[in-house]
Amino acid sequence: MKRSLLALALLSVAFTASAQNLLIRNAKVVAGGNAAPRDADVLIRNGVIQSVGNGLSSSGVTVVDANGRFVTPMLFGGISDIGVEEVSGERSTVDSSFAHGNTREQMEIRPEFDVTLAFNPDSILIPVARNEGIGWTLVSAGSSGVSSIVLGQGGVVRFNGDTEAIGPRALFLNMGEAGASASGNSRAAQWMILDQLIDEVQGKIGPDSRFALLTPAGRKAFSKYLAGNGRVFVGMNRASDIRQLLKWSARTGVKVAIVGGDEGWKVANDLARAKVPVFINALNALPSNFDSLGTRLDNAALLNQAGVPVSFYQSDMASHMAFKVRQIAGNAVSYGMPWQAAFAGLTTVPAQAMGVADKVGSIAAGHPGDVVIWSGDPLEVNAIADQVIVNGRVVDMRSRHTELRDRYLKPTPNPDQGQMPRAYE
């Protein structure tokens, strides 16, 4: 049977319901990667994409007519605290950061801190992001102290109700100007600290040494990244720091990614040769500190032109306004990045960087049935997600935002008639 988008929305099932069999017809499918949009149908059976093509059989499935609209995989929400933060100003609801030592003399390095253990799949931020076409994010670790350049571990989480992160963990470091206060106010000391951590893992400094910085659990956690089991995400912007990171990565064999990279365009060829992905904020137009004096709006375009894998993140309100990552990618397009490359930055590039390309980032046979039907070009700010489908289930497009909207669009209560304020509903 055929359903319009409106009818499908009215038939939306609860998110916990069993998977549906759906055939999305007449879609402008963007499968992910650098693939151009193409006219095709998408068949989902038992929550998994079975095939993408034309003239697919509709036997035994609900048919949804996309009417030529964009159909894409669920998008990457950037590097955020979604699921480990509710209200950023209320400390009791924030689990993303570990209170390392509060003074420079209290250096405390705990790479074993894994923020994914606090992930809450029932967070009120998840439906808000999901309704905007965001289906997964890299949950990051942070520090509420000042004495560690090693922030801890995070991982990829899907907004499908699962409690566990997928794929390998990621280790987060703050380097350059951002990590100076945790390294004796010198970025040179940051490399000294990292080299010592490697010496400890390799047994050159014993665990009982008074100079040791890692706990036994910390040694075990850090050793995974030395063995190539996971990627280290390093916050830095200055070109000279990026060059040092590339040398360190080549020497140690540690897989790295750069978060920030405002001056990445200066070392684009080096990054491309090393195949290091860079997560940038393409809205950055002016320097925010001395490490980003070379900031320019066509950074993404220049990096992509050199062959660097480029993805996106936002530095402010990344959890509560995850939808802005689409605007960031669109802004990169407006400054010269090809549309397909920018779209890949929200799909396959981050998925490949995090080792989860078999689970997210593409519309392909065997992948989870996580797709979005858009009102228009998903990289335009005036486009909205008309319908979100997760694991083949049509998602009820309600969230805390829509509930507040509906509450306060009603007529103002009249206390003379015994009506209570709307917040009491």
What does the pLDDT look like over 296-333, one tens digit per residue? 999 999 999 999 999 999 988 888 899 999 999 999 99
Look at residue 14 in the predicted model and tell me its pLDDT.
36
Contact indicator for 100, 366 with CB cutoff of 8 Å: no
Closest CA to 74 of 46, 42, 115: 42
Q: Alpha-carbon distance 21 to 72, whole Å?
A: 18
Amino acid at 336: G
**Residues forming a β-bridge with 278:** 258, 310
3-state DSSP helix/strand/coil % of the chain, to nearest 5? 30, 25, 45
Look at residue 2 in the predicted model and tell me its pLDDT.
46
Look at residue 150 in the predicted model and tell me its pLDDT.
94
Look at residue 81 in the predicted model and tell me its pLDDT.
94
Question: 64 is written with which tokens?
Answer: 């949804």
241 by Cβ neighbours in 10 Å (0-12 / 13-18 / 19+) ranks as buried
Question: 123 is written with which tokens?
Answer: 């967070």
Q: Alpha-carbon distance 213 to 272, whole Å?
A: 33
Q: Alpha-carbon distance 324 to 133, whole Å?
A: 11
**Residues forming a β-bridge with 234:** 173, 258
Question: 7 is written with which tokens?
Answer: 């009818």
Look at residue 10 in the predicted model and tell me its pLDDT.
41
Q: Which residues of the chain have pLDDT under 50?
A: 1-3, 5-7, 9-18, 104
> Other C-beta atoms within 10 Å of 190: how many?
25
Helix (H) or strand (E) holding 126: helix 125-130
DSSP state at residue 385: E
126 by Cβ neighbours in 10 Å (0-12 / 13-18 / 19+) ranks as buried
Q: Alpha-carbon distance 17 to 20, whole Å?
A: 9
pLDDT tens digits for 219-243?
A: 999 999 999 999 999 999 999 999 9
Look at residue 1 in the predicted model and tell me its pLDDT.
40
Amino acid at 201: V
Contact indicator for 369, 19 with CB cutoff of 8 Å: yes
Sheet strands (E) in 298-359: 310-312
Biggest distance spanned by C-alpha atoms of the chain? 79
272 by Cβ neighbours in 10 Å (0-12 / 13-18 / 19+) ranks as middle
Amino acid at 380: E
Amino acid at 387: Q
Ordered by where they begin, the domains of the chain are 2-73+372-404 (2.30.40.10), 76-293+307-324+346-355 (3.20.20.140)
Look at residue 258 in the predicted model and tell me its pLDDT.
98
